[in-house]
Amino acid sequence: MNRTEVCIVGAGPAGTTVSHFLSKKKIPHVLLDKSVFPRDKICGDGVTVDVMNTLKRISPGFLEEFIEECDMLPCWGFCFRDVNGKELRYDFKDAGFPYAPIFTSRRMEMDNFLVGKLNPEYCQFMPETLVEGISRTPDDVTITYRNKEGESSVQAKMVIGAEGEKPVVTRYLGLDHYRERKHLLGAIRVYYKNVKGFNSGNHLEFFFDKNIMPGYFWAFPLNNNEANVGVGMLSSSIAARKFNLKAAFFEMIEQHPLLSEMFSEAEALEKPKGWGLPSITPQRIIAGERYALVGDAAGMIDPFNGKGIGPGMVSARICSEHIEEALLTKNYQMMPYQEHMYRYYNTEIKVGYTLQKSLRYPWALNSAISVLNLPAIKRWSQNKVVNAWKGWM
């Protein structure tokens, strides 16, 4: 039996971020992951300013190392296209940012970077280790795992669930895990090469279409002339319409006037792969006695745009502060962390679900895109984004 202060389940961006902050605080911990690294994670590979902010908080040089080592592509803007093909494009090349506000990085590389930088002085990292059981007593938590050496366990003062979308920690603790379809998105991803027509600033391209609403199609440029392409939709609509996301994905590529041109010489590098995105809602309990959830395990995903890496890492940073407090005070009730998170993302939750609703009505989305294209409103909204992002940089 291995004894430690904290045991983290899952070494994606959320789990490794908890680990990096615990190491900074000199708190010994064990980090378990079932995968062999480097490992893929189905994702759009869009890396946002909140990720960069979290990396800088871990250590000032961390962001530079990340940009250098992860083969990232700097992206200077994004474009939404309404159901009639009308564009709303935001270009931030001249916004005075110290670095690109968005990057794309294959998760294979990004997650491997975060794992490669774990601090062995405080973090005992155990890859290829599957968590198979968790039990709680008033004094500790025991996490049972299996790996090449057989079955064993870790005894810790608390367990942090960073296992991603499919619940592990709550399931083994015998707790309910909120997983309603109205707060879940379904999405598929395909890596392509030779997609044409990306903007010279490597903008992220979003396409709305009546058939895939409430949802959208994306094409994000990657380096080496590759692209991350996918489609996502609200799970309750997928179920209600018995919707075939894969068929809709290929239909978009074949029938959408601009996409058919962009993909005329493109080659798929893999078959479509699907995964779920749990969106943030205060209805989800994410903490309790001797446990807390971070990242996708806690549903830290923006309900409108599907962004989850940044919020997952932010939840991990905030969780590490509550872990430190719990260890200091010997009060292992982690509810204050849950309250902190839902307070922190209060505005994003309201705005995110309002925007998500607009995706149900093509006319509402078309009107919004037309209004946002009016020069004065475009300048105002661009400035709002620039100021918000500068705050993160």
Ligand X SMILES: Cc1cc2nc3c(=O)[nH]c(=O)nc-3n(C[C@H](O)[C@H](O)[C@H](O)COP(=O)(O)OP(=O)(O)OC[C@H]3O[C@@H](n4cnc5c(N)ncnc54)[C@H](O)[C@@H]3O)c2cc1C
Residues that bind ligand X in the complex, under the rule CB under 6 A: 9-15, 32-35, 41-46, 48, 130-131, 162-164, 168, 187, 189, 230, 275, 277, 295-297, 301, 306-310, 312
Q: Which is nearer to ligand X, 20 or 307 (CB)?
A: 307
Give 20: exposed, middle or buried? Use CB within 10 Å, 0-12, 13-18, 19+.
buried
Q: In angstroms, what is the minimal distance from the CB of 346 to ligand X?
A: 19
Nearer of residues 16 and 358 to ligand X, judged by Cβ: 16
SS3 content of the chain, % helix, strand, coil (to 5): 40, 25, 35
Nearer Cβ to ligand X, position 231 or 259? 231
Write out the two tokens for 187: 């999405």
Which CB sits closer to ligand X, 147 or 370?
Answer: 147
State in angstroms the smallest separation of the CB of 115 from ligand X: 9
User: Distance of alpha carbon 8 from its chain centroid, rounded?
Assistant: 18
**Shortest approach of ligand X to residue 298 CB, angstroms?**
8
* Cβ proximity to ligand X, 82 vs 296, nearer residue: 296
Shortest Å, Cβ 328 to ligand X: 26
The whole-angstrom separation of Cα 13 and Cα 243 is 31
Q: Taking the complex as a whole, how short is the minimal distance between the CB of residue 330 and ligand X, in angstroms?
A: 28
Which two three-digit tokens encode residue 11? 């070494």
Instruction: Compute the least distance from the CB of residue 332 to ligand X, in Å.
Output: 22
Spatial separation of the C-alpha atoms in residues 134 and 167, rounded to whole Å: 12
Nearer to ligand X, 38 or 373 (CB): 38
In angstroms, rounded to a whole number, what is the distance separating the alpha carbons of residues 107 and 218? 17
Q: How many residues does the chain have?
A: 393
User: Parallel, antiparallel, or unpaired for β 204-207 and 77-81?
Assistant: parallel
Whose CA is closest to 236, among 131, 332, 360, 329?
Answer: 360
Determine the Cα–Cα distance for residues 324 and 121; give it in Å rounded to an integer: 17
